Structure 1
Amino acid sequence: MTTSTPNGPFVGRPVIALLAIVALMLAAANLRGGLVVVGPLVTEIRAALNISASAFSMLTTLPLLCFGIVSICVPWLTRRWAPQWLSIVGLMVISLGVGLRLVDNYALIILGTLLLGSAIAVLNVLIPGLVKAFFPHRVGLMTGLYSVTLTAGAGMGVYLAIPLLEQFDNWRVPVAMWAIFPLFCVLFWLPMIRVKGVGRPANPVRVSLWRDKIAWSITFYMGLQSFYFYSMATWLPKILLENGLDAHQAGTATAFINLVSIPFNLFVPILAAKMANQRLLVVGTFMVSFIGIAGLWWQPNAAPLLWASFIGMGCGSALSLALSFFVLRAENTAQATALSAMAQSIGYLLAALGPVSLGLMRDISGHWQWALLLLLVLQLGQLASGWSAARPIKVKPDQSKL
């Protein structure tokens, strides 16, 4: 991608600027809903397809692996095609991938899952770079809105699944919604094709960040916060159930993670963009996350909503900080895309290990204490990587023309 113009491409063009905001937010809303919608429908889907629990788990594990593997290829794609076109194609592939998850053939469902995960991986990487290109002086606000919309899209996928299932008595209806929605969003991306200064560069430059210390700090921060979030999202209900809470209490506490994270999704990037360095935010994020896990480790049934609230604060703040680092530590759009690709590739591979690692420790020990202790130790690693990433230093890539 080209370097964005200093003032952005929408100066004096409020209508197209508003369309760009809507397009970015609609794309963000599609990045989790089609994945998480199957979680509440697990019983109906397994019964309809006659598949085992391990076979069903592939529908949630494979996308994370796609995130890790495909993300690293996105800078290569942006050197050949404009990011606006890639965004449009990504939305269409999301629609196709979700559509294939509606059929009765498990092999086609797996193919759809791979397409869905790959398309989301492309958009995951592209959007921070497009925020930098479209709104160079509003990166904090736009990153916050993107983070909130990402969380809200995931929430819609979960919260609408059961009401739609009960209304239509068919598990395919809530899933099909996420096949139709991306096609509607494409309409808002078509005007973005004509936005100048953001397309494929005339002289493509390969941006490599693999030797940059700041890039590695951001990568580890992204990876450890992803490990933390996906571990909690997977196992918090089970942890609470095994400590005497009923299903309703466990479900309510888990829902609090997403609910409480929303204001932090919005305001942390805005604050981060105004700060010379973000170390105060890194420390605050560490403290609330540490308290939440320590509470679960100490006495999970004493105040489950309180522990879940602290976990939600930490997850929302950490994700927003990681996304902010992608744009704040980059000089231009190409660097932001390369940094996003590197951090998300390794980050989501680490995230895929989280639920598996904690589940294995639970099976071996017979309790959750050691698994939660691991998360406490990893929070120290997240603090250290965030402390380094928060320095007001831009990445210094190795560059070579192709």
Structure 2
Amino acid sequence: MTDSRRSTTTSALALCTLFLMAFAMRGPVTSVGPAADVVLRDFGLSYQAFGVLNALPVLAFGFFSFPAVTLSERIGMHKTIAAALGLLLLGTLCRVTESMVLLFAGTVFVGAGIAFLNVLVPVLLKAQAPDKAARAMGLYTVVVGLSGTIGTWTSAPLAHLADSHIAVMAVWLAFIVPALCLWPRVKTDDAAKAAAADKGGMVRLIKTGAAWAVILTMGMQSLTVYTTCAWLPTALTERGFTTSAAGLAVAFFLFCSLPGSLWLDAIIRRLGSLKRTAVLMTVMFLAGIACWQAGGWWVWSGCFLAGIPQGGMFTFALIVMAMKSHGPVQMAQISAVSQGVGYLAAGLGPWIFSVLYTYSGFFAASLSLVAAVLVWGIAALSASGPARVFR
């Protein structure tokens, strides 16, 4: 085999394995909400405890994003990603038990594993396709979104077919185990190791306006999607939807995010401005929330209107991150900073929603989403200012 063919085969294996990982990066989290009735019954959880359960993985995304780059310095990027997959496997196995302690512990393990992948997978994608970073990020967000869609779509049917939460949690082993088996054959460089060696790099990044634009955009996008996935099914069932229909509605919302991820680059070119694109995305999401409030068949229109910008803005944050960073070293740093701070803020969303939902009902809870999306729009607008790079 020639060197060029060997290089092509290696890159193809790396990309396939990375996208296989991406299939396990949202579904284990988004699948819990649609199966709320079964999870609440099996573990005897209150609404507040269920809100904490849904907040845990997002908070873990934030807490464990910061040490991802440092750990890569200590053991290398390849071993760090292997450890992330190991945490995903361990967490999934804990959650298929009937122990409440292991349920919560396993959820933290799953969140920690995904946090490492959140930070490092975009860096590896940029390294594998440096000339097509925007397209690679778009495809990556599509796969991540598809993972969330599969989770919400299959969750309620699996839970009721098996009459247990175990099937909902165990199905993700079909992606985690093959990725863990293939990963040892993938070669990576030590870009993250070099990033970690620059110990003051992340501190300097936090002081830049460009970094905070990405942080706010990433955080508010995450707050809205995880709060919606966790609580929209419960809100819809109490408004007359069956659990399967409610899960399907959230799956449709996430499915609509896929074209948003793919079309974002074309939308930016058509509108000729990042600022106009951000305004359009924010207005569409607000219209979607209004349709959810209206209930009935308007819910499906709301899922479409909110889903398109939900996918688009995640790609927006990743593209800005890739465009404004000086190569993979700085991208690893801004990825850790933006996702760490952003997800810590986003993790409060499901818990805040649970409190508002318990005492005020769906309308008051949805106001928190309105506030979040307005901040999200402001963050997007700030990111679309002068094309500064991280200094």
Would the TM-score normalized by the shorter structure come out above 0.5?
A: yes
Q: Of 82, 85, 88, which residue of structure 1 is paired with 2:79? A: 85
Tell me the residue number matched to 2:305.
310
Contact 2:23 2:144 in 1 (8 A): yes
What is the count of residue pairs matched by the alignment? 386
Tell me the residue number matched to 2:390.
396
Superposition map of 1:350-369 within 5 A: 350-364=345-359, 366-369=360-363
User: Which amino acid in 2 is paired with 1:324?
Assistant: I
Tell me the residue number matched to 1:36.
30
- Stretches of structure 1 that go unaligned for 5 or more consecutive residues are 1-8, 398-402
Question: 1:212 and 2:208 equivalent?
Answer: yes
CA 1:191–1:389: 2 relative to 1, 3 Å? same
Tell me the residue number matched to 1:4.
none
Tell me the residue number matched to 1:127.
121
CA 1:275–1:51: 2 relative to 1, 3 Å? closer
Q: Give the superposition deviation at 1:28.
A: 0.9
User: Which amino acid in 2 is paired with 1:179?
Assistant: L
CA 1:175–1:249: 2 relative to 1, 3 Å? closer
CA 1:229–1:165: 2 relative to 1, 3 Å? closer
CA 1:109–1:375: 2 relative to 1, 3 Å? closer
Alpha-carbon RMSD across the aligned residues, in angstroms, is 3.2
Percent of aligned pairs with the same amino acid: 27
Question: 1:115 and 2:109 equivalent?
Answer: yes
1:396 alignment partner, SS class? coil
Question: 1:192 and 2:186 equivalent?
Answer: yes
Tell me the residue number matched to 2:333.
338
- How many Å separate the matches in 2 of 1:371 and 1:273? 36
Question: 1:283 and 2:279 equivalent?
Answer: yes
User: Which amino acid in 1 is paired with 2:59?
Assistant: L
CA 1:275–1:133: 2 relative to 1, 3 Å? farther
CA 1:380–1:160: 2 relative to 1, 3 Å? closer
- How many Å separate the matches in 2 of 1:191 and 1:232? 37
Contact 1:63 1:114 in 2 (8 A): yes
User: Which amino acid in 2 is paired with 1:265?
Assistant: S
Contact 1:84 1:199 in 2 (8 A): no
CA 1:106–1:190: 2 relative to 1, 3 Å? same
User: Which amino acid in 1 is paired with 2:197?
Assistant: P
CA 1:359–1:212: 2 relative to 1, 3 Å? same
Which digits, 9 at most, give the CA deviation of each residue in 1:183-240, with x for residues without a partner? 21123322323x4464734992232211111001111111122222223223334554
User: Which amino acid in 2 is paired with 1:125?
Assistant: V
Which digits, 9 at most, give the CA deviation of each residue in 1:110-142, with x for residues without a partner? 322221111111111111211222211111111
Tell me the residue number matched to 2:262.
266
1:103 alignment partner, SS class? coil
Contact 2:27 2:152 in 1 (8 A): yes
Tell me the residue number matched to 1:376.
370
Which digits, 9 at most, give the CA deviation of each residue in 1:54-86, with x for residues without a partner? 445443221111111111222222322322221
Contact 1:126 1:337 in 2 (8 A): yes
Q: Give the superposition deviation at 1:49.
A: 4.4
Q: Of 147, 154, 166, which residue of structure 1 is paired with 2:148? A: 154
Question: 1:227 and 2:223 equivalent?
Answer: yes
Contact 1:10 1:134 in 2 (8 A): no
1:31 alignment partner, SS class? coil
Stretch moving more, 16-25 or 55-64: 55-64
User: Which amino acid in 2 is paired with 1:200?
Assistant: K
- How many Å separate the matches in 2 of 1:190 and 1:151? 26
Tell me the residue number matched to 1:3.
none
Contact 2:97 2:103 in 1 (8 A): yes
Contact 1:329 1:392 in 2 (8 A): no
Which of the pair is proportionally richer in helix? 2
- How many Å separate the matches in 2 of 1:257 and 1:202? 36
Question: 1:141 and 2:164 equivalent?
Answer: no
2:217 alignment partner, SS class? helix
Length-normalised TM-score, structure 2: 0.86
Q: Give the superposition deviation at 1:342.
A: 1.5
- Stretches of structure 2 that go unaligned for 5 or more consecutive residues are none
